[in-house]
């Protein structure tokens, strides 16, 4: 079965209404070109480094403009709309970095909270502490789109292959990595990580990204991509600004790739032993 999918690249600012309008325009463009599944990037609703100002615009899922607009788009266009993520207010004063999937009737099929927090210290003084404000998720997700099974992840999750392996073992044929990768880490690792996750799981991978210089001053890498189960890049955007990246996926290619390299079936349980240095002949270890 062949289906057309799209990854939406954005350069989200600090105003959720403006970002929602941009999302709607790009999703409609993708649908007009035949996409039946459209993914938006991480933090579609707003990229705002100032935590106080971010909290001022936060809403719960029932009242969030990105969530409601995505549901409307899915229903109006009769497609699957996957909000890669947006910031959602939780009842415990924490924030969820949450993705949402809506079906062609506008129904929310499921949501996914980013599991791994981006707590890092990079070169040139660039430092991030997501865990200071965000509550990590604890549950991986796989859902059936009808034409394929979809596995969820968000941005920094891509560095944890065990998440993608668990989803692939559970039947995921399309893996997802909506992201707001920093320019520094993106230049070094973005494409190779995405291709590795696709190859090692014999799955398609769709990664919608933020790209450009944002209103809050951060720079994101862009280069939204769609990759096939053999690790080939089917489509890719540039580094800055808006884009609609599209590709036709032959879902049968997943079965074919996994038949050629059946590593999901060939995996074995093992134990890890740590050995101490052996004493040299005729003496004791120092």
- 96 φ, ψ (degrees, to nearest 5): -105, 135
Residues in the chain: 286
* pLDDT the model gives residue 76: 98
Instruction: Tell me the helices (H) and strands (E) count for the chain, helix number first.
Output: 7, 16
pTM above 0.85, yes or no: yes
| Active site residue ranges | 42, 114, 155
CA distance 249 to 146: 14
CA distance 42 to 238: 17
Cα–chain center distance at 185: 15
Task: Dump pLDDT digits (tens) for 46-71.
Answer: 998 888 898 999 999 999 999 999 99
Residue of 91, 99, 29 whose CA lies nearest to 67: 99
More confident residue, 129 or 251: 251
Report, as an integer, the average pLDDT of 86-114: 96
Q: CA-CA distances (angstroms) from residue 232 to 128, 223, 254? A: 31, 15, 13
- Look up residue 93 and give its DSSP letter: S
> 108: Cβ–Cβ under 8 A, 6 or more apart, which residues?
67, 71, 100, 101, 102
Report, as an integer, the average pLDDT of 188-208: 98
Residue 226 CB neighbours (<10 A) = 27
Show the tokens assigned to 286.
Answer: 């120092």
* pLDDT the model gives residue 239: 93
Q: Which domains does the chain have, with CATH numbers?
A: 2-266 (3.60.110.10)
Per-residue pLDDT band at 195 (split at 50, 70, 90): very high
Reply yes or no on whether the pLDDT at 91 is more than 90.
no
């Amino acid at each position: 079965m062949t289906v057309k999918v799209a990854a939406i690249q954005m350069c989200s600012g600090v105003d959720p209404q403006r970002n929602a309008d941009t999302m709607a325009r790009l999703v409609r463009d993708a649908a007009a070109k035949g996409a039946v599944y459209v993914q938006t990037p991480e933090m579609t609703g707003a990229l705002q480094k100032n935590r106080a100002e971010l909290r001022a615009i936060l809403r719960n899922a029932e009242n969030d403009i990105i969530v409601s607009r995505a549901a409307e788009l899915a229903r109006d266009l009769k497609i699957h709309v996957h909000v890669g993520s947006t910031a959602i207010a939780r009842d415990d004063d924490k924030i969820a970095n949450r993705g949402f999937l809506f079906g062609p009737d506008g129904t929310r099929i499921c949501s996914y909270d980013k599991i791994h927090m981006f707590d890092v210290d990079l070169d040139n003084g660039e430092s991030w502490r997501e865990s200071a404000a965000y509550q990590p998720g604890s549950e991986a997700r796989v859902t059936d789109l009808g034409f394929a099974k979809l596995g969820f992840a968000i941005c920094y999750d891509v560095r944890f292959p065990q998440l993608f392996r668990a989803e692939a073992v559970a039947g995921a044929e399309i893996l997802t990595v909506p992201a707001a990768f920093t320019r520094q880490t993106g230049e070094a690792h973005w494409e190779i990580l995405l291709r590795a996750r696709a190859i090692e799981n014999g799955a398609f991978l769709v990664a919608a990204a933020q790209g450009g210089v944002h209103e809050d001053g951060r720079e994101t890498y862009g280069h939204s991509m769609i990759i096939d189960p053999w690790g080939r890049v089917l489509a890719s955007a540039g580094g800055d600004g808006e884009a609609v990246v599209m590709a036709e996926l032959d879902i049968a290619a997943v079965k074919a790739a996994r038949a050629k390299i059946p590593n999901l079936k060939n995996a074995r349980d093992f134990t890890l032993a740590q050995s101490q240095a052996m004493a040299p002949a005729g003496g004791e270890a120092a």
